[in-house]
Amino acid sequence: MTPASYLKSVLTYCLIASAAGILSLALWTGGLLTSIESAFLSPGHGTLVTPSLQLAAAIILAVSFAVAIDVGRFGGRRALIYLGGGFLGLAALSLFTSWYFAIDILFVPVVLAASVSAVTMQVKRLRERDIELTGKLIAASSKFESRKSDDAEHSLMNGLQLLDTVLSPSEAIVFRRESGGKLIVSARLRTATAGSLDTSRNSAWRDGVSLCERAMRAGDIILEKIEEENLAANIALPLRHEDRTVGALLLRIARKFDDDDRALLTAVGGQMARNLQREETHKANVKRSVLAFFSARESEQRMESLSVLNGALVEQGIGINAMSQLNDGVALGYLDGRIAYANASLAEMAGLEQGQTDNMTFFELLDRFRTDVFDEPAIALRRVLQTGEAYERELNFSDRNATYSLRIVLVQDNSAGVWSLPGRQAQGPPQPLCLALVVRDLTQLKEYEQLRSDMLSLMSHELRTPITSINGFAELLTSDDQLSEQTREFVTIIANESQRLSRMIDTFLAVTKLQRKDRQEVFKIPLRLDVVVTETLAGMQKAARKRRIRLVEVPAQRLPPVAADKGMITQAVKNLVSNAIRYSPERTTVTVSTSLEAEAIRICVEDRGYGIPSEQKEKVWEKFYRVVREGQEKDEESTGLGLSFVREVVEKHGGSVALESEEGRGSKFSFTLPRL
Ligand code: ADP
C-alpha cells in the first residue's frame, strides 16, 4: 500500500466513523433514543449518572472508529461475529453498571454509532468491489468489441450479402433497437432494380417496421405476403442474443420461403445479434457516478458486457466445431495432460471410436501412433514442452498401409492477439497454453508421388531407346553422298531435333533422379574439381566448335579435393557450360576456371553472351523458369531445369551458387564446394 492510499483509507475510516458518531450523538442529545435506552438500563439505587457530552462524544467516536477499522480490515462477515459478541457483552454490562453503580455506559448510542459505521463501511467495500468487477467486465468485453467494432456495419453487411446468395432478397435491412425501443437502421442492402422501401413517410416502410416490432414481441419469424397473387413477401426476424432482443432483420423476398431457409435465417440472425450487441455495448459509454452501485443503467451495462462475453464464447465454440470438419486429425490437450478436444478424423486415425478420446489422456492418445520412428512419445512430448519447438515425424504404418505426418506443437499465448487472457499484457516470454497434435494422412500423396516418379523414369527410359535409333540412323544418312540437297537438309533436321529431344530427356531424368535421391545421402568421394572440368570440357569441344565458340579452361594450381558425387557434379558443370555455349552468339569465348578460396573451391563459367536481365537473375535458378529474349532462335531448346538442377546439387553438397550478369555483355555463373 502506498503512503497516499494508506492516508486515503485512514481518512475514509475517520470520515465514516465521525459521521456515524455524530449522527448517534445528535439522536442521543436530542433525546430520541431515551425510550430504547431504558430497555438496557436497570434502575437500581438512586439516579443514574450519565457521562458529560465531551466524554460521550469521545466514547462514541472511538467505538465508531474502531468498528470502521474492524470491518475495513476483516470484512463484514468476520466483523459481524465480533460485533455481535461485543454488543451482547455491552448490553449485559449496561444492565449491570446501571443497576450496581447507577452509571449509564451509553449502550444504545454506542451500538447505534457502531452499527451505522459498520454498515456504511461494508457498503463502501461492496461498492469498491463492484467498481473493480465492472471495470474488468467492461475491459474483457471491450477486447471483443474492439476487434471489429468500427466495422460493425461492415460485418452486418457481410451477413446480408451471405443471405443474398441464398434468399436473394430485393431488400434487406438490419434494425437496431435503441434503449427507448425505437428501431434504427444499422445496415441495408438492396438490389438496384427493386423498388425500395424508401422513406420513413412511405407506408410500405411503416408496414415493414411494424412487422419487425411484431416479430420482436412474438420472438419468432413473421412472414407477411405483400401481394396475394405472387410469392413476394416481407419477412421479419427478431435478432436475439441471450434472451435479449437487440434488433430485427427485415427481408423482402420474391420466392418461396421454406424450413431450410428458416434455419439459415435464424443462424445468421444469431450472428447479427451478437454483432449488434457488441456495437451497442461499445457505444454505451455510461459515466461512473458515486451512485453507480445503485444505478439500474450500470447494471444493464454490466449485463451487456456479460452478453458480449458470452457471445464471444459462442464464437470461440464455432472454431472448435469447425475443426470437426477437417480432414486432418486435430487434438488439443491441456497442460495437465487431459484432452480438451479431438476431432473425428483424429479418432479414426488413432483407430478409436469418436467419443473414446474423451476419457483418454494426451499421452494415451500419442501412444496410439507409436511406431519405430516414434517409439517414445513421452520423450517427444518432453522435448516440445522444454524447448517450445514443434516435433514432426513421418510415420509409416505398414500393417494398415498408411503414412501419416505427425506434428506436436506447444500452443503459446500470443499476448498481442485478441484471444489473450484479460489482464495479461505482453510481458516476459509467451505463456504456454496447451498442446496440439496434428496428424495428416499422407498415404494418397505418397502413392501419387511414387506413381509420378515411376512414370517419369519409365517414360524417359522407354523414350530414349527409339530416339537413340532415330538419331543414329539420321546421322548415318547425312553422310550418304547420294542424297539430294533437300533430303540431306531434312535428315540433318531429324538428327538435330532427335539430339535435342535426347538432351531434354537427360535433364528430366537427372532431375527426377535427384528428387528420388532427396531422402538418400549423395554418394560422396574425394574429387579433384580441375580434373572434372578438364574431362567435361573435352566432351563438349565438339558442340562448342559447331557454334564457333572458343572453350577455354583456366585451371588453378594445386587444388585440394572436395567430397562430392562425381556424376552429379559433372552434370552440373556440363549444364553451366552448355548454357554458356547455347546462350552466346558465334565467335565468342567461354572461359571455365577453377580457383581456391578460403574454405571452398569455386568453379566459374564465364561467357560473352546475351546475359540475363537483372530482375530475372534470382528466378533463373527456379524450376521451369526460362528467360525469353528478343530475337531468340526458334529452336533454342529450353526446359528451365538445367540451373535448378545445378543449384540443388550444389546445395546438397553444402555449397552455394552465384550469378553475375549484364544484359548484352555476358554472364558469369559460379558455384563453390567446401574443400576437404
Ligand atoms: P535450360 O536448361 O532450359 O537452359 P536453365 O535452367 O539452364 O534452363 O536456364 C534457365 C534460363 O536461364 C534459360 O531459359 C536461359 O534463357 C537463361 N540462361 C541460362 N544460362 C544462361 C547464360 N549463360 N546466358 C544467358 N542466359 C542464360
Full 3-state SS string of 585-642: CCCCEEEEEEEECCCEEEEEEEECCCCCCHHHCCHHHCCCCCCCCCCCCCCCCCCCCH
More confident position, 404 or 641: 404
Please state the rounded mean pLDDT for residues 558-571. 91
Answer whether residue 667 shows pLDDT above 90.
yes
Say how far apart CA 95 and CA 73 lie, in whole Å: 31
What's the gap in Å between 674 CA and the centre of ligand 1? 25
659 touches ligand 1 (CB under 6 Å): no
Residues 6+ apart with CB under 8 A from 4: none
Please state the rounded mean pLDDT for residues 571-577. 93
Q: Whose CA is nearest to atom 21 of ligand 1?
A: 579
CB 537 within 8 A of CB 592: yes
**Percentage of the residues of the chain whose pLDDT score is greater than 70:** 89
Give the pLDDT band (50/70/90) at residue 292: low
Please state the rounded mean pLDDT for residues 377-392. 88
Please state the rounded mean pLDDT for residues 244-251. 90
- For residue 357, CA distances in Å to 76, 325, 366, 370 come to 47, 17, 11, 16
Q: What are phi and psi of 113, to 5 degrees?
A: -60, -45
Q: How far apart are the first and last CA of the chain?
A: 69
Residues 6+ apart with CB under 8 A from 395: 369, 371, 373, 374, 403, 404, 405, 406
183 touches ligand 1 (CB under 6 Å): no
Out of 627, 630, 639, mutate this one to test ligand 1's pocket (max ligand atoms within 8 Å of CB): namely: 627
Please state the rounded mean pLDDT for residues 582-599. 93
* Confidence (pLDDT) at 418: 43
Give the pLDDT band (50/70/90) at residue 287: low
Please tell me whether the overall predicted TM-score, pTM, comes out greater than 0.85 for this model: no
CB 504 within 8 A of CB 637: yes
What integer best gives the mean pLDDT of the chain?
Answer: 84
Say how far apart CA 224 and CA 172 lie, in whole Å: 15
Please state the rounded mean pLDDT for residues 540-569. 92
Quickly list H helices, 101-172. Answer: 107-148, 152-167
Answer whether residue 155 shows pLDDT above 70.
yes
Give the pLDDT band (50/70/90) at residue 149: very low
Name the nearest CA neighbour of 236 among 175, 160, 167, 279. Answer: 175
Please state the rounded mean pLDDT for residues 584-594. 94
Counts for the chain of helices (H) and strands (E), in that order: 16, 17
Task: Locate 216 and state its grid cell.
Answer: 420482436
Q: Of the segments 4-8, 298-302, 464-468, 584-588, which one has the largest average pLDDT value?
A: 584-588
* Confidence (pLDDT) at 419: 45
Q: Of the segments 199-203, 426-430, 491-495, 523-527, which one has the largest average pLDDT value?
A: 491-495
Out of 604, 605, 643, mutate this one to test ligand 1's pocket (max ligand atoms within 8 Å of CB): namely: 643
Give the pLDDT band (50/70/90) at residue 33: confident
645 touches ligand 1 (CB under 6 Å): no
504 touches ligand 1 (CB under 6 Å): no
612 touches ligand 1 (CB under 6 Å): yes
Torsion over CA: 49, 52, 56, 62 (sign): negative
What's the gap in Å between 611 CA and the centre of ligand 1? 9
Out of 509, 547, 588, 626, mutate this one to test ligand 1's pocket (max ligand atoms within 8 Å of CB): namely: 626
211 touches ligand 1 (CB under 6 Å): no
Out of 574, 581, 612, 641, mutate this one to test ligand 1's pocket (max ligand atoms within 8 Å of CB): namely: 612
Please state the rounded mean pLDDT for residues 517-528. 73
Answer whether residue 626 shows pLDDT above 60.
yes
* Confidence (pLDDT) at 623: 86
